[in-house]
Amino acid sequence: MVSPGILLVDKPAGLTSHDVVARTRRALGTRKVGHAGTLDPMATGLLVIGVEGATRLLTYIVGADKTYEATIRLGQTTGTDDADGEILTRATAGSWDSVTPDRVAAGIDALTGAISQVPSSVSAIKVDGRRAYDRVRAGEEVVLAARDVTVSRFEVLAERSGDGFLDLDVVVDCSSGTYIRSLARDLGAALGVGGHLTALRRSRVGDFDVADAVTVDGVVETALLTPAAAAARVLDVMPVSAEEARDLRHGKRLVGQADRLTGSLAAAIDEDGVLVGVVERRGADLKSAMNMPEAAR
């Protein structure tokens, strides 16, 4: 049986996240594979995949901050807020007079920090049990509720003028759940010319970097990070003795040990460097929030 672990894959354009999961299942010979956050088919970049018992760690990875590199096209809107959709509007020649460097900077500034964002209707968000994009494809009109997100960095790296459009290459650091397509749409709307996304690449998820990822054709067991190594990238580490490891595995609390945590959660790693599970505070005690299955340690 394949060893448990976390796999970093650089997804190419044209594949869905599920396609990558399916290929990983075939390559490693196991059905127990999941991922920590969907990438659209047009997007490339980092997909964090859990294998076997390490799928339990995905809960603690999915909420990590992320970094994206993207290209925003100002001057056109599409039905999907990205390049896969039909072009709905094109900016008139006169509307470009107001697209000055200062106004672009002001528009970006307004979309930086803690913001309220309406996701694209063509997204994977579920509405009454069905994906929003499935409802849109079925002819339904879908308007999603705004959500609070944080954009800690929104920087223009380069710009290129075209025939009736302006492309901005940007980098965005943001909280989980942020839609870069929505940033493109909202920036274009603020400038009065419309906008959509033409390219997207996820380069970072928490402390996991796409530079360390393998291609979809390079998925092999030796590329897996051990559960302990992966957990140490997303959680504080709390070393535990053999006796403490046994108690945690049996559901017992570590009485009076809550002060050993600096945060709310920590990865409990035993004397052999094996991940026992994730511990949390319970009053003055520590208890298991998640135990790794025996075969996954």
Residue 297 has pLDDT above 70, yes or no: no
pLDDT value of position 121: 74
Asked if 40 is an active-site residue, the reply is yes
- What is the pLDDT averaged over residues 219-245? 95
pLDDT value of position 25: 97
* 209-221: burial string, b at 16+ Cβ within 10 Å, e else: ebeebeebeebee
Residue 27 has pLDDT above 70, yes or no: yes
pLDDT value of position 136: 66
Residue 131 has pLDDT above 90, yes or no: no
pLDDT tens-digit map of 189-198: 999 999 999 9
- What is the pLDDT averaged over residues 70-98? 93
Question: Which element (helix H / strand E) includes 276?
Answer: strand 275-282
Residue 188 has pLDDT above 60, yes or no: yes
Q: Are 198 and 83 within 8 A, CB to CB?
A: yes
Residue 271 has pLDDT above 80, yes or no: yes
Between 50 and 94, where is the model more confident?
50
Q: Are 192 and 95 within 8 A, CB to CB?
A: yes
Portion of the chain with pLDDT greater than 70, in percent: 94
128 — pLDDT class (breaks 50, 70, 90): low
75-79, 120-124, 160-164, 265-269: the lowest-pLDDT one: 120-124
Q: Are 124 and 133 within 8 A, CB to CB?
A: yes
Q: What are the strands, taking DSSP E only, across 91-215?
A: 113-117, 126-127, 130-131, 147-162, 165-174, 195-205, 208-209
CA distances in angstroms from 275 to 224, 241, 278, 293, listed in the order given = 15, 12, 8, 10
Which residue from 190, 199, 197, 195 is spatially nearest to 104, judged by alpha carbons?
A: 190
* HEC readout, 67-107: EEEEEEEECEEECCCECCCCEEEECCHHHHHHCCHHHHHHH
Domains of the chain: 5-64+206-226 (3.30.2350.10), 66-202 (3.30.2350.10), 235-296 (2.30.130.10)
Which residue from 199, 198, 192, 200 is spatially nearest to 90, judged by alpha carbons?
A: 192
pLDDT value of position 138: 66
pLDDT value of position 280: 96
Question: Which element (helix H / strand E) includes 134?
Answer: helix 132-137
Q: Are 234 and 36 within 8 A, CB to CB?
A: no
- What is the pLDDT averaged over residues 162-181? 96
Residue 132 has pLDDT above 70, yes or no: no
Query: Which one from 10, 40, 173, 270 is the annotated catalytic residue?
Result: 40
pLDDT value of position 295: 57
Which residue from 61, 19, 63 is spatially nearest to 39, judged by alpha carbons?
A: 19
